[in-house]
Structure formats: structure tokens, C-alpha cells
Structure 1
């Protein structure tokens, strides 16, 4: 038996006589003292409970302690719709390779909001062979942009689902210019936080053009930051066609031509230095989500 073990004369009495003989009643548990504490509790609790109407969970403790514990644990681990006026609707903007996907995943993981990647949504429709997916497929095959009206149709469907409504969302991959931002707002979806991830041109080239994949294991490497462990692996590594320097430069040039329209469209943009450790970037984005938006002075 460990020292200072707690027992109960009715529910948990020790079997060993020597343990029974050395037990002591703790101070402050007499009937009179307990009654005083109960009176004080009931006098104050009715003024405390109304302060937590949206998150209060009443659990009867007149049952086995294990049952009480699991009811409390189930409630704590469940996600509840927030009744606060602020539901996260976050837009991440930035050139290819700026880290939007990673930051969206980190936000989704920590805050339980829904990670909405426009590119992934389009690919899912094609993979499912839906009617919309079949209309997207020719654009994929020709390496052309999918028309905005098709994209917005898919986005509206996803952002209107119950999980996005309850928990909020973080969107990346759309909009990419002012016209697309207008289109998104016209269908009823306006972000309440907009982040621009700024990464120097040379850093993007370094991040993307040095990526490689092992066709045998599927393992991904980076020739500078995560080089392959052996020469045999290095010799068989392959580069994704989209990571060629020519393709990367085309995507970056397109982004920078269109980004000015986005910057003009959205007020209160939060600019982020994306050329640093991903978790440092995440902390900066997180601070921008938590802090209140500045209040505009009435004109």
C-alpha cells in the first residue's frame, strides 16, 4: 500500500487489519463542518452557474467515479458550436511554395476549423467521376485553369456544409485575383481574416525546384534541407514536372500579376514573413487570428 492512501469506511475499507488499525480520520470532515461547507456551496453556486450558460454540463456524481470521469471526458473532447460572434473564416494568400497548405493544416489541427484547399476539391471531383468532375477533367488534361464558375460552384457546396458553418474554415487556392474575390463575396462568403504570406522569389525557387521523390518508396526529399541518405537513392530520385524552374517561375509571375487586385479588394490584410521557420510563421498567423480587428472610424 502506498503512503497516504485514502479509504472510505463504507465503500472502500481495507481488508488488512494492520492497515485498518493505523487509519486516521482527517481534520475538517465532521458532520458539522461538512454541513457548513455544503450550505456555503449551495448559497453561491446559483450565482455562478448563470455565468456559463453555453458551456455548462451537469453530471450526477452519485454514481461510480469511473462513470463520472468518462462523462466529463466525453464532454471535454467533443466539439461544440461556438456562440461567439467570431467564427473563423480565414483566407491564406501567397505564391506557390509559400507554405499556405502547411499553415492551413496547422490551423485546422489546433483550432478544429475546416481546411478547404481549392485544388484538392477540384481533384476530388475528378477522382469521384462526378458530373462536375467530368467537366473539370479536360482543363486538367490541357493544364488550363478551371473556369471560375465551376470552381465557385464547388466551393459554395463545401463551405455551406455543416462542419464549415459550425467550426469555421481556412481557405487557400482561391481567390487569386480581385474578380474571384468579388465572385466569392457575391455568393455569401467573405473571410474575416486575410493573410498574405510573403516569401522572396529566390527562396521559392530554392524550396520547389530542389524537391525530389523516391519512385520506389514514395519518400519525399529536398536536395538542400532533406537530402537522400545514400547515393543509390539519390540516383533514382525524380522531380515532379510542376517543380521545374520554368513552371515555378510561370506560376509566380501569374500570382504577382494578380495579387495587387486581391490587396486592393480586401481591407485589413495581415502580411506575414513566410521566409522563416514554419512554426514561427504559424505563431504570427495565430496572433493575427486571436487579436480583434481594428475598428474603422465612421466617416
Structure 2
């Protein structure tokens, strides 16, 4: 950010931006940073970020970490079953799943051995069968599993069942006892590959270590043998039994859980596909089993303005439920606050007599008039994964999907153009806890928008001269998860803010579907004259202006509001000011008190907080913890000292305006 040529002689270097001063500051930083991080390590997640990465990569890493600790799905730990043939790679994938999701890995053998070691009633019964060389009955195994799944670690972290159920009877017994997984992960490996893997296994008779004659041959000095049940004929029998049983098991779970199959060529690819499938599945929360229902709701009219407080309390009673359902008789007048709920249309064959409304707990933030930032609106680039867009797009008509794909391709060609440079095509997505809930596609076409005023009486409502051509755009597509309908206006305003647009147009075909969001938020512009629909030859595409002027036109304008500033003005602040005026350091205890007072204000309590520049020392961190100020996440930006010196020592200040420039990165022109 070099200074303009005319300011070249007016910029100076700050006295504390010299290399010598910077290195002294860096030494103090390194002395204190590790101690501060260690102080929070026991109560917070520590995230180390490479500060040399691009801004978007750093932001993405931080957003992902924040989502991982704020996502309400953490209250609903995953319940997984993994199936696969012998030597199918279950062990490797189980290790990856435990590492990624923190679930408790459970195998029937390990559970039985643990129960026996703990001398539990179930364990002692199982030991009696094992001592006699008999198979442990399914009922006893199921009792062992139920006991294990009810232990605190499985309840808090979720679980991964490996090796059970092995047959249809065991699967049905699980369902009868209410043990139903979220997902069943099925590893598909060809019989030929399994035979190749198992028949080539060799075991060191001295150590028990396993080798493979092809993939991991034993050293020449190791005496390795083949296990008696690792020959090809035995493996084929085991595979036949596996195929018969796994089909029956999946038949039981298919109506109740998400069954996903994985047949990628490498273990790494299988792991990535498995993570992606689990994340997508967990993003699509089913209402069934994850909602509480209000069948009777009465509130006097004067108190209906307090309905959001009541709803917050109701959700607090069901902390593990994400949805609230309300049923009302069709003849009853809905309470005012029900307008914030999403109406659920009945199926054509339904005999249910009541009307159903649905609300997600995150929508409470939008019922409350206080601002929010739990929904993140960002620019979508074609280098990102498109998987999460599928849930929003799959129900569109084929023609709309084709139009959207075309717009995404055009936006992809301009991925390298910054928003500041006003690209013609751009895609935005809104994410809630990392899950995409809305997609907006916009086009900037000066020729089209400047012609609209000749066909529509827009200026009856707004003075277009107050909206520069570059500040106008056409909203081509806006896809929104209906559960978050109440957040639609907020998302649109955020899109306009990021794209720096003050006026947006939406074109809707006559007799076409107009969403409730457009009807309630946008203004319908009347035509200046009768619309004449001219026929266009099949081999000729109508122009953009012709398409828009033959449709109904809606528009929406917005003023860009500055973010509110918060000031701490209190007795603590005055005490701090007295130290600063005397040229003395403000004591740590006083700084912590000022911060504590600020963090107890309503916006920090409801929205959370981000502390920047504090604590700087171990004593400050300990003082925070002593006052009960705990962080969920500590973000550490790692930047080499030499890079810091380069960044700071090149800074220059305009002595007239105080604006900061830099001489090294993108130096000023020679003149």
C-alpha cells in the first residue's frame, strides 16, 4: 500500500518501527506467548495458524475451528457403525474416524474383555461361555453393548461400532433396544482383493508381528508362517458368510439410518470420502427425534411481544433439540409470533387434522431485534467444494439448475477479480455453523439496469440517480433453506454490504412463482406501458434487456449502516485513565477488571467476544482465569521474525493525515 507520489516526501517512519525496536518487541513476545498459551491450554482449544498463508486460507482455518466449538451439533455426538469384509481396511478407517470426530471405538471383543476384567455381571456370564469354548449368545453381547454405550464417554463423544452387528438377528435386537446409528459406513472391497490381502499374510512366530509377502514382506532373518485360516479356500467361505449377513444387516438399518458405501481406490481417498459423507449427513438434521412439540399454546395479545423470551426458555428446557413444532387447529387464528415459524404443507394423502409450523433454534436470533453474526455470508469461489450446495439445488427445475450452473461458470471465470474491482458475476453463500443455508447469484450489467427505468416506473419509489450504475445489480438466483426463512432479509442485506451494492433488481416471469421473501421485502415496479410479448425465433436468444422487460420487476434498496461502537465508561475506566495520564503502566488486575466489566455487557453475553492484544503475559492470563474469564479458542498466528521485521520496518505514516503506507510491498512509482 505505497503512498501516492504527491505524499512521498510527507511520509515518515514511526520511531518504534525500526528493526532494532522490532526485534526487542519480538523477543518479549516470544517470552510471553508460550506462557499465555500454556495458561489456557487446560480450558481452551489452541489453534496454531501459519501467518504466511493467504488471508482467505487463514480466515477459513479460523472459521472452521470456531464452527467446531460453536456448532450445536456437538451436543448430538455421532453414532456410527462400520461394516466391511475381512482385511477390508476397517482398522485403518476406525483410527481416522476416532482422530477426526473423537468418537469411542468399540469392538465386541474389546468390550467383552473389559467387562470380564471389571468383573461386571455381564462379564462374568460371558466368561463362563468363553471358558467352555462356546460362542457368547447374542443377548449377552447386546447387554454388554448397552452397558458400554450408556457410559459417560459414549454419551458425550458418540460411538463407532466395529464388528457388530454381524447378522440380521443382532441388528434387529439393536433396533428393538433403541440402539440406532446415525450412519452405517460400508467398505466395499472386491473378493479377489480380499483373497490377495489375506492369503499373502504371514505372522512372525516369535513376536506375533504381521507381514505381507507382497505389500510388506518379512525380513530375511524372520521366520514367518501363514495362519491356518488364511488360506484361499477358508477366506472364500468367510467372504460368502459375510456377504449373506451384511446384506441382511443393511436391510434392517436402511430405513432408519444413512447407509453410505465406499469403494475408492486408496485408503486416503476412502477416508476423505467418509469424512465428507459424515459431515454432509450431520448437516442435514432430521426433525424426527430432534424436536419438541407444543400442542397447546395460549398467550394474551399484550404479552405476545415477549414470545421470543418464552421460546428461548422453551429451547433451554430441551437443550439437545434443534427444532420446535407447533400444531394448531385449522380454524384457530395463529398467534402473531407464529409468523416467524415456517409453515409445513401437508402431504396430499395426509389425514392429520392440524396445521404444522416449524422453527429452528438458530432463528431465535432473528426474532430478537438485537443484531447477530452467527450467519456468515462469504463469496463462493469455484475452487471450493460444491457438495453442500446440492441440498439447496436438487429440487430446482432442470432449466433453473442449468441457468445456475451457467452463472457459476461465469462467476468462476472472475474468481481472481476482487470484490473491490466489481466483478460482473459473483456467487455468495450463507453458512450457519459451517453448513450452507443460502446461495445468492448476482450479475452486474450496466446496460441492462440503465434501460430498466425506460420500461418500469422505478423512480416513483426511488431516485435512481442516488444509486450509481456500479452500485446496482441483478439478483439472478436466491436459494434459501426454508427453515431459515426468517433470516432471508438479513442474508440479503449482508450480500449487498459485501458486494457494495445499494440497489438490487429481481426479475420474475409473469404468472411465475414469487417467493414470500420477494413479496415482503422487494417492491414491485409498475410497467410504464403495456407489455408486448414478441415471438422470438427458436434459433435466436432474446437479449437480457428483452428478457427482463417482459417479466415483472421487483427491486430492493438498502442504506449501508456503520457498525455500532461500544465504549466502556465506568469507575474502572477512570482509574485506568489516572495511571495512563501519570505515565505509569495500568496494573494487570485493573485491566482484567475493565475487560471483565466489558464482557458482562449484553452484546458480549449473547454474541460472544474476541479479545485482541490481551493477555500479553502469563500473569495477565492467570489474572483472567482467576476472575473466571475462560476462552473457548486461542488462535496463535505463527509468522517468522524476519517476515515481521520486513512488514513493520517498511511502514510509513502520512504526517498530515496519519494514514499508513508501506514501501517494500508494491513500491511507489519512481516519480
Query: TM-score, normalised to structure 1's length?
Result: 0.69
Give the match for residue 120 of structure 1: 110
Q: Residue by residue, what CA displacement relative to the aligned partner does 1:167-199 show, whole Å, maximum 9, x if unpaired?
A: 111111111223222211222221001111111
Of 65, 85, 95, the residue aligned with 1:95 is 85
Counterpart of 2:275 in structure 1 is 286
Do the aligned partners of 1:213 and 1:220 also contact (CA within 8 Å) in 2?
yes
Q: Does 1:5 align with 2:23?
A: yes
- Residue 72 of structure 1 corresponds to 40
Secondary structure at 2:185 match in 1: strand
Q: Is the 8 A contact 1:126 1:137 kept in 2?
A: yes
3-state SS in 2 of match to 1:212 = strand
- Residue 154 (1) aligns with residue 140 (2): no
The one of 244, 260, 263 aligned to 1:257:
244
SS of the equivalent of 2:211 reads: strand
Alpha-carbon distance change, 82 to 212 in structure 1, aligned in 2, over 3 angstroms:
farther
Cα distance, 1:93 vs. partner? 1.2
- Write the distance in 1 (CA, Å) between the matches of 2:37 and 2:193: 51
- Larger-gyration structure (1/2): 2
Partner secondary structure for residue 115 of structure 1: strand
1:213 alignment partner, SS class: strand
Deviation at 1:166, TM superposition (A): 0.5
Equivalent pair of 1:104/1:171 in contact (CA under 8 Å): no
Deviations, residues 202-257 of structure 1 (Å, cap 9, x unaligned):
11111112211212244321111000121x32xx2123344343443332221111
Structure with greater helix share of residues: 1
Cα distance in 1, alignment partners of residues 275 and 44 from structure 2: 23
Contact between 2:201 and 2:230, CA under 8 Å: does it hold in 1?
yes
> Partners of 2:70 and 2:165 in 1: how far apart?
27
Compared with structure 1, are the counterparts of its residues 81 and 189 closer, same or farther at alpha carbon in structure 2 (3 Å cutoff)?
farther
- Where does 1:227-242 land on structure 2 (aligned, <5 Å)? 227-230=217-220, 232-233=221-222, 236-242=223-229
- Offset of 1:153 from its aligned partner? 0.7
Deviation (angstroms), 1:90: 0.7
Q: Partner residue of 2:216?
A: 226
Other structure's SS at 2:281 match: coil
Could you tell me which residue of structure 2 aligns to residue 43 of structure 1?
A: none
Alignment partner of 1:228: what SS? Answer: coil
Q: Aligned pair in 2 of structure 1 residues 137, 251: CA closer, same or farther (>3 Å)? A: farther
Q: How does 1:204-223 map to 2 (within 5 A)?
A: 204-223=194-213
Change (3 A) 1:178 1:81: farther
- After superposition, the Cα gap between the structure-2 partners of 1:187 and 1:68, relative to the gap in structure 1 and judged at 3 Å, is same
Residue matched to 2:612 = none
Q: Structure 1's 66 and 255: CA in aligned 2 closer, same or farther, altered over 3 A?
A: closer
SS at match of 1:176: coil
User: Using a 3 Å threshold, how does the CA distance of structure 1 residues 248 and 123 change in structure 2: closer, same or farther?
Assistant: farther
- Provide the rounded CA distance (Å) in 2 between the counterparts of 1:186 and 1:258: 18
Give the match's secondary structure for 1:221.
strand
- The whole-number CA distance in structure 1 between the counterparts of 2:137 and 2:238 is 17
Conservation of the 8 A alpha-carbon contact between 2:203 and 2:226 = yes
2:261 is matched with 271
Q: TM-score, normalised by structure 2?
A: 0.33
User: SS of the counterpart of 2:181?
Assistant: coil
RMSD of aligned alpha carbons? 3.2
Q: 5+ residue gaps in structure 1?
A: 13-63
Note closer, same or farther for the CA distance 1:237–1:157 as it changes in structure 2 (3 Å cut). same
User: 2: CA distance between counterparts of 1:189 and 1:127?
Assistant: 25
Instruction: Compare 203-212 and 143-152 and name the one that shifted more.
Output: 143-152
Q: Is the 8 A contact 1:82 1:166 kept in 2?
A: no
Aligned pair partner of 1:179 in 169, 178, 183: 169
Is this contact kept in 2: 1:81–1:166, CA < 8 A? no
- In 1: Cα distance, 2:195 partner to 2:188 partner: 14
The Cα offsets for residues 40-61 of structure 1, whole Å up to 9 and x where unpaired, read as xxxxxxxxxxxxxxxxxxxxxx
Between the aligned partners of 2:77 and 2:23, the Cα distance in structure 1 is: 47
- Determine the structure 1 residue equivalent to 2:414: none
Q: Distance in 1 between the 2:152 and 2:72 partners? A: 15
Gap change, CA 1:129 and 1:238, over 3 Å in 2? farther
Question: Which structure 2 segments of 5+ residues have no match?
Answer: 1-18, 47-67, 288-345, 350-671
1:53-72 to 2 correspondences below 5 Å: 68-72=36-40
Picking from 191, 195, 198, the partner of 1:201 is 191
Report if aligned partners of 2:88, 2:189 keep a CA contact under 8 Å in 1: yes
Instruction: Report the 3-state secondary structure (helix = DSSP H, G, I; strand = E; otherwise coil) of the residue aligned with 1:194.
Output: strand
